[in-house]
C-alpha cells in the first residue's frame, strides 16, 4: 500500500503527517486513501511541508486488520455458539441464547482488553507502522 502524505510537524524523531488524497479519490468514501488522515511516523529529521510517499507492507496491513476486527469477531461467534450448544439441552434451555450471548460478549471484551494492553508494545514495533519510502520532489508546501 503506497500513499502520498505531507509533513506538517517534526519532533522527537517523529514526523507528523497528513495524507493527501489522489485526484480521483477526492470526495470518494470507498477507502482510507480518499480522506485526509493524520498519523505519526518515525523518521530522521525532515523538512516541514515536504511531500513524501508512505508505504506499509500489505501482509502487515492484513495481519493488523485481522487482529483488530477478525479475532474479536471469531471469538465472539465462538462464545455465542458454544454457550448455546452447552446450555440448549440443560435446564437452562429457555435462556441458552442469552447465555451464549453473554459468553460471546465476554470473549469479545477479553479480546478487546488484551489487544489494548498490547497496543503500547505494537506502537514501539516498527512492523505495524507506515514508513517513508521516498520524497515527492516537485511538491513542497509552505503553511
What is the predicted pLDDT for the residue at 107? 94
Sequential pLDDT tens for the chain (143 residues): 677 888 888 888 778 888 777 665 555 555 555 566 777 777 778 788 888 888 777 777 788 788 888 999 999 999 999 999 988 888 888 888 999 999 999 999 999 888 888 777 766 666 667 777 877 766 555 55
Instruction: Report the alpha-carbon distance of residue 18 to residue 138 in Å, rounded.
Output: 17
What is the predicted pLDDT for the residue at 54? 80
Instruction: Report the alpha-carbon distance of residue 141 to residue 8 in Å, rounded.
Output: 9
Instruction: Record the pTM.
Output: 0.59
Amino acid at each position: 500500500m503506497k500513499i502520498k502524505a505531507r509533513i506538517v510537524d517534526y519532533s522527537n524523531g517523529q514526523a507528523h503527517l497528513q495524507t493527501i488524497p489522489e485526484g480521483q479519490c477526492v470526495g470518494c468514501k470507498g477507502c482510507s486513501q480518499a480522506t485526509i488522515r493524520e498519523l505519526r511516523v518515525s523518521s530522521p529529521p525532515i523538512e516541514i511541508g515536504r511531500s513524501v510517499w508512505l508505504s506499509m507492507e500489505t501482509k502487515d496491513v492484513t495481519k493488523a486488520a485481522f487482529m483488530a476486527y477478525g479475532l474479536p469477531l471469531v471469538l465472539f461467534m465462538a462464545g455465542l455458539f458454544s454457550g448455546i450448544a452447552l446450555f440448549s439441552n440443560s435446564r437452562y434451555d429457555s435462556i441458552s441464547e442469552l447465555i451464549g450471548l453473554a459468553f460471546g460478549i465476554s470473549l469479545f471484551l477479553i479480546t478487546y482488553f488484551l489487544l489494548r494492553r498490547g497496543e503500547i508494545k505494537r506502537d514501539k514495533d516498527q512492523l505495524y507502522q507506515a514508513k517513508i519510502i521516498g520524497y515527492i520532489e516537485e511538491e513542497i508546501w509552505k503553511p
